[in-house]
Chain A
Amino acid sequence: MSFGLDDAAMMTAASMAMQALGTMAQKSAADEERQQRMAVLNRGADEQAAIAQQNAARAAQTAKQLDATQQQEAQKTNAEKLATEYAPTQAGFNEAGYQASTSEAPKEIADSMAAAVGRALAQGKAYAKNKANLSALNYGDTASNIAIGRSASDISLNNNRAQGAQQVMNADLNAIYPDQNKMVGADILNGIGSGLYMYGAKKAGQTPPILPGGVGAQPY
């Protein structure tokens, strides 16, 4: 089966076919390696994006908790609750006891004493209201700090996961290498192709030109 070609031409054709197959094998191995790397990179990018999205959602949740309007409403509610809790309900001073012990005193004296104690109670209530406002601020600060701390902790855990995922991706990338069967096969095919080329050239009594890579540079 010579297709009308002489031996040298047949050898050259076979050589070229072998070289072409070798090149195809190399390209196939390189493509596969590239695809594997791309798959790992894409998977890593997806994972990092998902983690970043989770972090953003967590931060948004905290921001909602710390929203100024919401904070003000919570503070107002707390202040009202605390003002009720703190407000004095009765005097420590026993007016009845005073009146009984000063029975000879004019009514004006007893009334004046009752008024003094009443004023003190009113001052205590006003003080309770102011103090409740301050305490409500303290409550708000504590709640905000805890919310921020927990958010930071959750995001830190997520970032730790992101670092781990990055390390896995790097390890996976390092573990990817070209298909060795294909690479060895390509080398063998290239070698056979070069050999056939040389053999054909020798058979034709010609000095083979130097092939790329220096093949044929030495006397055959």
Chain B
Amino acid sequence: MSLFDWKRKVQWFVPSFIGMDSGGGGGGDGGAAAREAARQQKIAEGTAAVNNAFTGFDDPYYGNISKMYKDNYTPLIQEQYQTALRQLPYQFANTQGSEYQRRVGELERDYQRQLVDNASAADDFANQRRTNVENQRQSLINQVTAGADPGSAATLASGAAKSLSAQPTFSALGDLFAKYTGNVVNAAGINNQQTPGGYTPLTFGGGRSGAMKVVGG
């Protein structure tokens, strides 16, 4: 057998040795990289779908939420204030007394504070809504990261966005100016009673003339 024959036989067994090229080694890519790239692509698509569904929740949206809150409660506060203002004189013998003036001033002060509180509460309400929306968005992104496919993520996000976009509901307003409207009957009754001798009237400035005038606008 010639040397050439030997070489040919050996070459069949060890081609890589003769040519020093790699033929039978593991290259290291068993497809994991491709699978991971596909997974990351799905996550990116799912995240984009969620963010896209939430694009409507911007500053003007929250500004409008705050406005809706104010629009709902401000007229109610004004109504209660007007009622209190109408009823207030019935607690006094006349409306020219300093006590009545003081009371009107307090009512006015409380009314202004209620309006301020209402404006502030409207902003808080909008901020709370902002927090809720953000929590929902985060939750959906967590689901995407955990393996939800982009289609499901888009469906879930769309549902969540629709639910969050629903008109807010506002609870009934309590009696804000009860301390100005309470005991109207009693006060009027007391003022109309004959005062015993030496009795200092409940209010001063107008005596017991009973000349009450409804004021306020």
A204 within 8 A of partner (CB):
no
Bound-state CA distance A142–B102 (Å) is 40
A145 near B28: Cβ-Cβ < 8 Å: no
Proximity string of chain B (138-150) to chain A, C-beta cutoff 8 Å, 1 when within and 0 when not: 1001100100000
B39 within 8 A of partner (CB):
yes
| Chain A binding surface SS class | helix
Closest B residue to A163 by CB, please name it. B36
Closest A residue to B108 by CB, please name it. A120
Bound-state CA distance A188–B6 (Å) is 13
B124 near A112: Cβ-Cβ < 8 Å: no
A124 near B115: Cβ-Cβ < 8 Å: yes
Most central of B32, B124, B142 by chain A CB within 10 Å: B32
Instruction: Given A102-B96, A121-B108, A131-B116, check contact A176 B39 (CB 8 Å).
Output: no
> How large, as a class, is the contact surface on chain B?
35 or more
A203: min CB distance to chain B, Å: 18
Bound-state CA distance A134–B25 (Å) is 69
User: Quick check: which of B126-134, B157-165, B183-191, B193-201 contacts chain A, the rest being far away?
Assistant: B126-134
List of B residues within 8 angstroms of A131 by Cβ: 116-117, 119-120
B179: min CB distance to chain A, Å: 15
List of A residues within 8 angstroms of B8 by Cβ: none
Proximity string of chain B (92-126) to chain A, C-beta cutoff 8 Å, 1 when within and 0 when not: 00011010011011111101110111011001100
B178 within 8 A of partner (CB):
no
> How large, as a class, is the contact surface on chain A?
35 or more
List of B residues within 8 angstroms of A174 by Cβ: 30
B24 near A171: Cβ-Cβ < 8 Å: no
Give chain A's interface residues, CB within 8 Å of chain B.
21, 25, 28-29, 32-33, 36-37, 39-40, 82, 85-88, 91-94, 96-98, 101-102, 105, 109, 112-113, 116-117, 119-121, 123-125, 127-128, 131-132, 134-135, 138-139, 142, 145-146, 149-150, 153, 156-157, 160-161, 164-165, 167-168, 171-186, 188-189
What are 19 A-B contacts with C-beta separation under 8 Å? A36-B26, A39-B28, A93-B107, A101-B95, A101-B213, A102-B213, A102-B215, A138-B127, A146-B134, A153-B142, A164-B40, A168-B33, A168-B36, A171-B30, A181-B13, A182-B14, A182-B16, A183-B24, A185-B10
